[in-house]
Amino acid sequence: MCGEKITWAIFFSGGGRSAKDCLDLWVDGCLSVHQINCVVTAGQNADNIKSFLDRNIKVIDKSPSEFATISDYQVWLANILVDMQVDYLFLIGYKYRIRSILLHTFKNRILNIHPSLLPSFKNTQRAIHEALELGVKISGITTHIIDENIDEGYILDQEAVRIPANTTFSEIDVAFNQAGKILIERTFNLVREYHKPQSYLNGYIENAANLI
């Protein structure tokens, strides 16, 4: 890879704690060959949105519910990201499903972080709770490529978390957060190793019919 930065859009909803951890890694110089071009969210944590704005990072703060259809929203969003020449999308605690429009535009360049050792506890937003309820002794966190099937894309990396007996969610949540920081940094480094620039993605699209 030449001297150009690898560019990213960070997606989050809810509290955005792990997205803020990602920003901190970048600010601290741990992601030196990477550039966060923008964040995509739905305005659910003003403090963390401000953290990105304070670093002159563009915030795309619009809910899919503001559009007639999810397809309309993702066409609008895909064209903005193409215009910003974003290389990769990283979903860090993002609750909305990625549809074919973004999957086509950023083929094999959409990453997700999931709080389990996939394929265990896939397709659930309660992965940690379910691990606790079943008495699992070892769980963890996975980063993977997004495809058409939820939590079934190519696994990039995993970080294990031991779960002691009688652990509460609030106690183990701290361990998962720390493991997430480690895995996020390692995943960025993995992308750096294998990144290949391309002449720019799959171009602009006008509507979902272009993908048929």
How far is residue 201's CA from residue 106's CA, in Å, rounded to a whole number?
6
What separation in angstroms does the CA of 33 have from each of 29, 183, 192?
9, 17, 7
Closest of 92, 91, 144 to residue 118, by C-alpha? 144
Q: Given its phi and psi angles, is residue 166 left (phi above 0), alpha (psi -120 to 50 degrees) or beta?
A: left
Cβ distance 62 to 34 under 8 Å? no
In Å, how far are 21, 127, 130 from 151, measured between CA atoms?
Answer: 22, 12, 16
Catalytic residue among 114, 129, 144, 195: 114
Within 13 Å of residue 209, how many CA atoms lie on the same side as its CB? Answer: 1
Per the annotation, the verdict on 34 as an active-site residue is no
Biggest alpha carbon–alpha carbon distance for the chain = 53
Specify the pairing of strand 155-162 against strand 88-92.
unpaired
Give the angle 71-156-170 at the CA atoms, nearest 5°.
85
Q: Which residues are catalytic?
A: 114
